[in-house]
Amino acid sequence: MKKRLLAVLAALSLAAVMGGCSGGGTEKTQADTGAVTEADAKTDAQTKQDQSGTEAEKKLVKIGWSSDILSSNFTSGLAAKFQESCDELGIEIEMQDANRDMNLQINQVENMISNGCQVIILKPYDMSACEPISTACREAGVPLVVICSDISSDYDCAVLVDNATLGEIKGRAIAEALDGKGRVAFIHGTLSQAGWVMQADAAKAELAKYPEIEIVDEQVAENNAQDLAITVTENWITAGLDFDAIWCSQDTVAIGAGTACKEAGLEKVYIVGQGGMEDAQIAIRNGVISSTVYLPSSVYVDGAMQAAQALFYGQPIDKDLYMETPLLTGDNIEGFQF
């Protein structure tokens, strides 16, 4: 079964379109009143006339998307999906790459607002340093939608996952695969962002429930780089480190670790990643990695675009929209989109 956002999102796109078509105006219906009087009709006609200018203005035609980095597989996938979605909806999108520079990301968002972007979608580089972005959006009256991570300052809607839950899922997958006994290594993508630390801590807490599981080493493949994950794993193998499973921050890291293990003949090592996009699904089918938490770019984009439309057209929406995060394995891989 295809996994989606919480059910609340399923109706938002229709609601947003309805908001765009009606301009927020209301009409009395037979169901509302039982009968429409002549006075009612005149009032409605006057209301529509008064709102005609507003309707012309109240149309979402341009959004801005600021990403922390566009060169990774995941974010490049996000970019492609955002462009595809906006093309289908007839919405212009301005994309900016902060290239892991928070000051640059702040300036880019401010410029997007000046350039007429009516909604800002933000994948933040530093969740604790977004106050200038929040302030700029609030002062301009531009809704701010955050994806992949919440931020410590204000926002209108966040499409995200619970990092502690992600860590627990991956830790539990390892524990179950090892039957509660074995040696586990960790490869982190970065330890400079709070979300990654929270996720790793949750995984360790989950593994700590099993006295016969030992964490034997932890290394960092900075920025989730696949080549660095290969190097880390090769170094472990060369040094004679004994491990039965590798907990990985993302699929790029998992594929790197799995590639090194397969080349060394260590095909029984259980390797879990995160993402579930095409490269990971191929890696699972080919036995390079064992599993991944399913978080494809398409689901983030669907949620972000629906939230953007709902906020722009004044439709009700929860502030935090949490995504489902199933574990994708060789047994259930069929039916999951990229």
Same domain, 195 and 141: no
What is the model's pLDDT at position 26?
Answer: 28
Q: Is the pLDDT of residue 51 over 90?
A: no
What is the model's pLDDT at position 75?
Answer: 87
Can you tell me the mean pLDDT for 291-310? 92
206 lies in a domain? yes
What is the model's pLDDT at position 1?
Answer: 36
Same domain, 171 and 242: yes
What is the model's pLDDT at position 57?
Answer: 62
Distance CA 281, CA 284 (A): 5
16 lies in a domain? no
Can you give the CATH number for the domain in which 78 is found? Answer: 3.40.50.2300
Higher pLDDT, 202 or 32: 202
Same domain, 130 and 216: no
Write the pLDDT tens digit of every residue in 202-216. 999 999 999 999 999
Can you tell me the mean pLDDT for 209-226? 95
Q: How many domains is the chain partitioned into structurally?
A: 2
Distance CA 200, CA 193 (A): 11
Q: How confident is the model at residue 71 (pLDDT cuts 50, 70, 90)?
A: confident
Same domain, 94 and 196: no
Same domain, 102 and 211: no
Same domain, 241 and 207: yes
What is the model's pLDDT at position 336?
Answer: 81
Could you tell me if 172 and 206 are in contact, meaning their C-beta atoms sit under 8 angstroms apart? yes
Can you tell me the mean pLDDT for 51-78? 79
Mean pLDDT of all residues in the chain?
Answer: 84
What is the model's pLDDT at position 40?
Answer: 41
Write the pLDDT tens digit of every residue in 127-139. 899 999 999 999 9
Could you tell me if 312 and 60 are in contact, meaning their C-beta atoms sit under 8 angstroms apart? yes
Higher pLDDT, 50 or 71: 71
Centroid of chain to Cα 143: 18
What is the model's pLDDT at position 274?
Answer: 94
Distance CA 101, CA 321 (A): 26
- Could you tell me what percent of the chain has a pLDDT over 90? 68
Q: 204 is in which domain, residue-wise?
A: 163-294
Write the pLDDT tens digit of every residue in 117-175. 999 999 999 989 999 999 999 999 999 999 988 899 999 999 988 889 999 999 999 99
Same domain, 267 and 179: yes
Same domain, 287 and 195: yes
Q: How confident is the model at residue 52 (pLDDT cuts 50, 70, 90)?
A: very low
What is the model's pLDDT at position 37?
Answer: 35
Distance CA 170, CA 177 (A): 11
Q: Is the pLDDT of residue 187 over 90?
A: yes
Query: Closest by alpha carbon to 187, among 155, 124, 232, 140?
Result: 232
Tokens of 210: 């099993």
Can you tell me the mean pLDDT for 19-27? 31
Distance CA 62, CA 273 (A): 35
Can you tell me the mean pLDDT for 16-42? 32
Higher pLDDT, 29 or 127: 127
189 lies in a domain? yes
Lowest mean pLDDT among 46-60, 139-153, 265-279, 310-324: 46-60
Q: How confident is the model at residue 109 (pLDDT cuts 50, 70, 90)?
A: very high
207 lies in a domain? yes
Same domain, 316 and 212: no
Same domain, 170 and 257: yes
